Structure 1
């Protein structure tokens, strides 16, 4: 994940959030879960900062979208409480794994501040810019 790609994703996510009339935080991490880019839109709730970062970290550390992670980490699933590992993870949607054109995981994006469905939609639009 390089800075140029991360900023293109930030811009795409920001444009989509404006189009949807929502305020969100957008976090982009590399394949090792280290921060590459972050943006908090005006008027976004402060709690969304940590959540966006954890959504991105969850996606890249487990190489699955955070919504998929929720399927294995809920109370009746085989990995309940897994979200308490790795410094805290998130088990709901808005974190997407990012892969290059060859399918190699290069990082993840996390979006938080709107509804879960809107967070996922914004992250999806941003992720599409990676291999465009």
Structure 2
């Protein structure tokens, strides 16, 4: 039995929509689309985007797939005396800041994730939401 997954065509449409939103915001961004198993389906770096954004976009996408949630939803405020989840040194490369969103099919099943990096975490989240809406 195969699992539902995102197609290259759908990933490309998401990236195109994301690039349009990034341009509207005056940003050059990187886009990484993973399937539901956190495997790379599509990757694009806009001209002039920071090289560091390559790894950040992948990590945000991976985080959204692994937790089936927007990457910023996992970023709780630090409270003195309380344990703090710390994922930045995992082998999986997770990142708990805005810009990663899960991609769901029409039945609400996870089929992939989008990671965006190029602006502030808030701008990246805005781009990712616009790209997948």
- Normalising by structure 1, we get a TM-score of 0.89
Q: Which has the larger radius of gyration?
A: 2
Residue 133 of structure 2 corresponds to residue 120 of structure 1 = no
Moved over 6 A (4+): none
Equivalent residues in 2 for 1:1-80 (5 A)? 1-71=6-76, 75-76=78-79, 78=83, 80=85
Q: What are the superposed Cα offsets for residues 102-132 of structure 1, whole Å, 9 maximum, x if unpaired?
A: 000011100001111111111111111xxxx
Structure in which a larger fraction of residues adopt helix: 1
State how far apart, in whole Å, the 2-side matches of 1:80 and 1:124 are.
25
Q: Point out where structure 1 has 5 or more consecutive residues left out of the alignment.
A: none
Q: What are the superposed Cα offsets for residues 62-109 of structure 1, whole Å, 9 maximum, x if unpaired?
A: 1111001212xx654655213433422101111001111100001110
- SS of the residue corresponding to residue 84 of structure 1 reads coil
Contact 2:101 2:129 in 1 (8 A): yes
Residue 103 of structure 2 corresponds to residue 85 of structure 1 = no
Residue 113 of structure 2 corresponds to residue 108 of structure 1 = yes
Q: How many residues end up aligned between the 2 structures? A: 126
State how far apart, in whole Å, the 1-side matches of 2:83 and 2:90 are.
15
